[in-house]
């Protein structure tokens, strides 16, 4: 069994290769992938070669942790059934080619316990479940929902939508790019230069900017919290006296857990959390090199997805 996969052969060198897949066992499923998303955070770092040391990191590799597809084979102990539509958070089934995170392929083999059944009606929006769960994980671990979010990309928008659902406050979102500032739904989007507040209780940063902490600390109320919900390729530092005087907290939000995915699935199923307006670009998987370039260079591209349905 084989598949066509996106392969990062080395930094800034990407190709589509046909790879032989690991044979499935009794606990495994085979999933024909319909759509996969391109992450402008971790995948950009992998593509550029700026990813900090990370378990499993090495080239060549298959990226991708935002895939949806249909199960075409299910082992007797997989717990899944043929025909189910599932979200796939990645796979490692490519032999000597590393699966980090391994979801950007026309077909994958993985343990049935790793895939999550989803409503077929989600269609391509199913790829957004990982980011929605990441936003939920950040909020669930905080002392308060965000009243300031830094960055109006997909993760920032999902954080804002979840904060509105929580109902404790209407968040402000900082965004300098005028085009990205569009699309705020029941919350305000401001250029930080236009914001005069210095009493935020909870600031969630998804900018990935390692130099931003001093700016955020100056905007916190005493006892406030900064949540680092992005991914940072360089060391972070801050001036101690302002943080000391405010007695602030700094928390790092890690990757999502199953309970986070279950929580956002329930919100989506009950039509409380919308995923509309977040996918802005779609390319056939055969155009993957151009798609990755657009995802990483075009500021109007919130989320690029690859359509694998035409790949054999």
Q: Which residue shows structure tokens 């939508």?
A: 161
Per-residue tens of pLDDT for the chain, all 312 residues: 999 999 999 988 999 999 999 999 999 999 999 999 999 888 888 888 888 777 778 899 999 999 999 999 999 999 999 999 999 999 999 998 988 789 999 999 999 999 999 999 999 999 999 999 999 999 998 778 999 999 999 999 999 999 999 887 899 999 999 989 998 888 999 999 999 999 999 999 999 899 999 999 999 999 999 999 988 888 999 999 999 999 999 999 988 998 999 999 999 999 999 999 999 999 999 999 999 999 999 989 999 999 999 886
Residue 264 is classified by DSSP as H
**pLDDT at res. 99:** 83
Instruction: Answer for the pair 51, 233: CB distance below 8 angstroms, yes or no.
Output: yes
**pLDDT at res. 33:** 98
CA pair distance 154, 253, nearest whole angstrom: 16
Q: What is the CATH number of the domain that holds 25?
A: 3.90.180.10
**pLDDT at res. 283:** 97
Residue 38, domain extent: 2-117+280-307
Total domains in the fold of the chain: 2
Q: With respect to residue 274, please indicate whether it lies within any of the assigned structural domains.
A: no
Q: With respect to residue 266, please indicate whether it lies within any of the assigned structural domains.
A: no
**pLDDT at res. 58:** 85
Q: With respect to residue 267, please indicate whether it lies within any of the assigned structural domains.
A: no
Q: With respect to residue 214, please indicate whether it lies within any of the assigned structural domains.
A: yes
Looking at the structure, do residues 156 and 51 belong to the same domain, yes or no? Answer: no
**pLDDT at res. 312:** 65
- 181 by Cβ neighbours in 10 Å (0-12 / 13-18 / 19+) ranks as middle
Q: With respect to residue 258, please indicate whether it lies within any of the assigned structural domains.
A: no
Q: With respect to residue 262, please indicate whether it lies within any of the assigned structural domains.
A: no
User: Which residues are CB-contacts of 2 (< 8 A; sequence separation ≥ 6)?
Assistant: 18, 19, 20, 21, 107
Q: What is the CATH number of the domain that holds 187?
A: 3.40.50.720
Strand ranges for 163-298 from DSSP E = 172-174, 188-190, 200-205, 220-228, 249-252, 281-284
Q: With respect to residue 289, please indicate whether it lies within any of the assigned structural domains.
A: yes
Instruction: Answer for the pair 58, 92: CB distance below 8 angstroms, yes or no.
Output: no
Cβ neighbours around 61 below 10 Å, total: 24
Token pair in block for residue 4: 């066509």
């Amino acid at each position: 069994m084989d598949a066509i996969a996106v392969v990062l052969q080395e930094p800034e060198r990407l190709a589509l290769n046909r790879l032989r897949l690991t044979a499935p066992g009794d606990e495994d499923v085979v999933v024909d992938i319909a759509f996969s998303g391109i992450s402008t955070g971790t995948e950009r770092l992998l593509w550029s070669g700026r990813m900090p040391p990370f378990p499993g990191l090495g080239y060549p590799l298959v990226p991708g942790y935002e895939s949806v597809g249909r199960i075409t084979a299910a082992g007797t102990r997989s717990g899944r059934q043929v025909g189910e539509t599932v979200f796939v958070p990645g796979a490692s089934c490519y032999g000597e080619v590393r699966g980090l995170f391994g979801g950007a392929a026309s077909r994958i083999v993985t343990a049935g316990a790793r895939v999550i059944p989803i409503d077929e009606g989600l269609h391509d929006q199913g790829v957004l479940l990982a980011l929605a769960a990441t936003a939920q994980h950040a909020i669930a671990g905080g002392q308060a929902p965000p009243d300031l979010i830094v960055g109006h990309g997909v993760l920032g928008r999902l954080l804002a939508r979840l904060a509105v659902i929580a109902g404790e406050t209407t968040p402000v979102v900082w965004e300098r790019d005028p085009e990205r500032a569009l699309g705020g739904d029941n919350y305000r989007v401001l250029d930080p230069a236009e914001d005069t507040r210095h009493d935020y209780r909870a600031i969630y940063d998804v900018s990935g900017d390692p130099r931003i902490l001093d700016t955020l600390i100056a905007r916190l109320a005493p006892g406030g919290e900064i949540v680092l919900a992005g991914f940072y390729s360089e060391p972070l530092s801050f001036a101690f006296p302002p943080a000391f005087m405010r007695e602030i907290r700094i928390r790092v939000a890690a990757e999502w857990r199953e309970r986070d995915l279950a929580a956002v699935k329930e919100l989506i199923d009950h039509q409380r959390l919308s995923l509309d307006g977040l996918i802005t670009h779609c390319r056939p998987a055969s155009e993957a090199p151009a798609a990755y370039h657009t995802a990483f260079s075009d500021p109007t591209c919130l989320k690029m997805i690859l359509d694998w349905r035409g790949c054999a």
